[in-house]
Chain A
Amino acid sequence: MEYSKLAKITIEKLRHDFEEYGYIAEDDIIVPVYLALRLEKPILITGAPGVGKTEIAKVLASVFKTELIRLQCYEGLDENKALYEWNYQKQLIKIQLIKESSSELTEQNLFSHSYLLQRPLLKAIQAPNKIVLLIDEIDKTDEEFEAFLFEVLSDFQVSIPELGTIKARHIPMVVLTNNGERELSDGLKRRCVYLYIDFPTIEKEKKIIRVKVPQVGERLVEEIALAVNYLRHQLDFKKKPSISETLDLANALHILGAEMLEAEHIKKTINLLLKDKEDIDLFFKELGPEGLIENIRKR
């Protein structure tokens, strides 16, 4: 499906296309994404790390066969890094060259498109096609940048004093992700369609493992999904295992030649699921590999 066919999408078609690109999603994810596309509004996706927030932007780019422009947010990110910057060095070289030759230099020559360094937001606005703009981890930026951002996102135009106003040729599909480290402003939230992604159910996780690591046998798929689900809900970890970590585990177990989950496998691979020493200690203290196996076999 290409972006020109955006107007013809349906919820069913979108779900089908997402699945085709390996993203298993139920209506609770597909409906907000579909609405964001139809309403031409940014979609703000919140959820724990590793539940597949960023993946949605990547899949959208694949589904609509278009470019993905990514703006990774961090503390201290400003307009220069996000929107545009004048290529100061190139301008200096130009001045030096002009000095040495006798040709004439006007200010206009120095502030033209060739001296403009386009950053992701400007690139997205100037793109010739409808692209996917991923603004990743928006909660890492400061409030001031957030305010600037929602101005850009509401009008899809920017003003560069030396060049004038640049308006988007096509309104990009904007995906903002948020890990919930900071409360976002109401202004930004109001302008977006909102999607909260929780950890998947056992059934959904099984489906994801089957699609992403097809070489793993059915019994192992079932037991991995049960084990990860059990760990997420029964123990109080600082960082719960995410979907990507489940997939790492599935891959590792396949490499180890496992056909079913054994205590020995868990001992060898637990640090693929738990990435914090306190969490690993807690696992061995409260449950242990044998305990985990026993609990999932009961279910």
Chain B
Amino acid sequence: MQSYFENNFFENNFARFVHILRHLGINVSILETLTAIRALTYVDILNRNHVKMAIAATMIKNPDQREIFDQAFDTYFAPPEIKQHQENAWVEKQAETIRLLEEAETDLAYKGESLDLSEQEKLFYAKLPEEEKRKIREYLAASNLPDDRYSRFKPTLESQVRGSLRYWKQRLGETDDYSPQLFDNQIDDPVMASIINELGEDSSILYEDMRRIGKQDLPKVTILLKKLSRRLATKISRRYRISKKVVKLDLRRSIKANVRYGGVIFKLHYKQKRIQKPKILLICDVSGSMSRYASFVIQFIYGLSAVIKKIESFIFAEELEYVTPFFANRESFEDTMVRLIGKSNIWGKGTNLGAALHTLREQYPLMLTSNTVVIIVSDTKSLELERAEEELNKLKRKVKDILWLNTLPQEEWQDHPSVMKFKRYSQMYECYTLAHLEKIVRKQFLH
């Protein structure tokens, strides 16, 4: 591990800063890095503000990234004593992480050999309350059979411990803002690692799991969602796009327009292909496990419906409910929600997607056209999976496309058969943070 002071020259420091920005999710190209270095030759290098502005102007091309850039700049270009302090703190933090990992490896062993668990799982175990750790240890000790069925038992035990850890993760995740530290082996520079770790953790509510967003952040979320839905709305509300792929001469119109020139084709007319706007049909899961996410997504639709008329909204849990009329009155979002939850019979109940889709198909057939894009927001947990799968398949045949915004983290998808089933008939996206929602909007609709 090299000390900060050993490589303290401009190009090295600058490259490390660019590396930090990339780790924080800001894409900086080589061209931009070189432009930034050129730009610095035109400003007074001792003027901290000008240096910061020059780097920002050449490397930060999205106003949403400005805040994180400012934080990274201020932390990275800090006086040497502070940097030394950051380095020491990081070394200590890493030592602590290593100690926790070793403790977990000793505890989570079968016949003296460590279980095959990921570092994150081990760290999560190490940070569990002592009582829970003891239960897992006792379970492992009790499974320690004195015969040679070693190879058969180890994978079973591993999967049981993993399941138990996942259970705790979900339980603690819902009740407590508890998340284990990520241990990034790829960064061996203590200053860089500490900044990435610190700013990564501190990142805005954009990256926070939506169900954990506290009340104090709600006004900020409202503004963000509004911004997002307006951007999407602008794009969708454009009347048509002229297809430039095939520019065809419109002979009929050209002849008609040129009669006045005695038949000489003087003025050419081209055919314009008009693309119709897609109709959006949104189906949002408001069952118990989803109701927190639902309130954010509905807020997002609320913003959209202010601008787009052709958006139909449904909510579902055990059954389907048509909620478009709630948004038509243009009351404030809070009033709309109070009325919606007050009138809804299904808010917070169990989930039956199959029944909901069946109702949709039977009662609202006119809404399902080849121009309709269906957006389903759900964690895929539903009763009667086979029926739901069959109904989804039927729906898929009737509409243009189905986008599924899944609130389960992608790494858990493989553990849920429902995800695998529904994925066959829809384009599925991970969507449990506002950043995910933003990315989907940007890539799917604004591109």
Chain A residues with CB under 8 Å of chain B are 11, 27-28, 31-32, 34-36, 38-39, 41, 44, 46, 75-76, 78, 88-89, 92, 96, 142-144, 180-183, 186, 189-196, 236, 238, 278
Chain B residues bordering chain A, tally (CB within 8 A): 37
15 contacts between A and B (CB under 8 A): A11-B50, A28-B53, A31-B43, A31-B54, A38-B42, A39-B38, A44-B61, A75-B242, A89-B266, A92-B266, A142-B241, A142-B242, A186-B27, A194-B56, A194-B60
Nearest CB in chain A to that of B32: its residue: A190
Q: Which residues of A contact B306 (CB under 8 A)?
A: 238
Taking CB atoms and an 8 Å cut-off, the chain B residues in 14-72 that contact chain A are: 27, 29, 31-32, 35, 38-39, 42-43, 49-50, 53-54, 56-58, 60-61, 63, 66
Q: Which residues of A contact B241 (CB under 8 A)?
A: 75-76, 142
Q: Which residues of B contact A195 (CB under 8 A)?
A: 57
Q: Is the CB of B244 within 8 A of A194?
A: no
- Per-position binary interface string of chain B over residues 266-287, scored 1 when its CB falls under 8 Å from any chain A CB and 0 otherwise: 1110000000000000000000
Task: Given the known inter-chain contacts A76-B242, A89-B266, A181-B235, please indicate yes or no for A31 contacting B50, CB distance below 8 A.
Answer: yes
8 nearest A-B residue pairs (beta carbon): A32-B57, A189-B61, A31-B53, A76-B242, A196-B63, A38-B42, A194-B61, A181-B234
Task: Given the known inter-chain contacts A196-B66, A278-B330, please indicate yes or no for A35 contacting B42, CB distance below 8 A.
Answer: yes
Task: Given the known inter-chain contacts A180-B231, A183-B442, A195-B57, please indicate yes or no for A78 contacting B38, CB distance below 8 A.
Answer: no
Task: Given the known inter-chain contacts A89-B266, A142-B244, please indicate yes or no for A194 contacting B57, CB distance below 8 A.
Answer: yes
Least CB distance, A193 to chain B, in whole angstroms: 5
Taking CB atoms and an 8 Å cut-off, the chain B residues in 245-262 that contact chain A are: none
Q: Is the CB of B53 within 8 A of A27?
A: yes
Nearest CB in chain B to that of A35: its residue: B39
**Does any Cβ of A come within 8 Å of B226's Cβ?**
yes
Task: Given the known inter-chain contacts A27-B49, A31-B43, A32-B53, please indicate yes or no for A193 contacting B231, CB distance below 8 A.
Answer: no
**Does any Cβ of A come within 8 Å of B264's Cβ?**
yes
**Does any Cβ of A come within 8 Å of B145's Cβ?**
no
Least CB distance, B400 to chain A, in whole angstroms: 21
Least CB distance, B30 to chain A, in whole angstroms: 10
Q: Is the CB of A35 within 8 A of B266?
A: no
Nearest CB in chain B to that of A181: its residue: B234
Q: Which residues of B contact A92 (CB under 8 A)?
A: 264, 266
**Which of B57, B235, B242, B447 has the largest count of A CB atoms less than 10 A from its CB?**
B57
Q: Residue B231 contacts which of A34, A39, A181 (CB distance < 8 angstroms)? A: A181
Distance A278 CA – B329 CA, assembled complex (angstroms): 12
Q: Which residues of A contact B57 (CB under 8 A)?
A: 31-32, 35-36, 193-195
**Does any Cβ of A come within 8 Å of B238's Cβ?**
yes
**Which of A39, A92, A180 has the largest count of B CB atoms less than 10 A from its CB?**
A39
**Which of A31, A32, A186 has the largest count of B CB atoms less than 10 A from its CB?**
A31
Q: Which residues of A contact B231 (CB under 8 A)?
A: 180-181
Nearest CB in chain B to that of A189: its residue: B61
Q: Is the CB of B35 within 8 A of A11?
A: no
Q: Which residues of B contact A194 (CB under 8 A)?
A: 56-58, 60-61
Q: Other than A35-B39, A144-B244, A180-B231, give 9 A-B pairs with Cβ distance below 8 A.
A: A11-B43, A27-B49, A31-B57, A36-B57, A78-B244, A182-B235, A183-B442, A183-B446, A193-B58
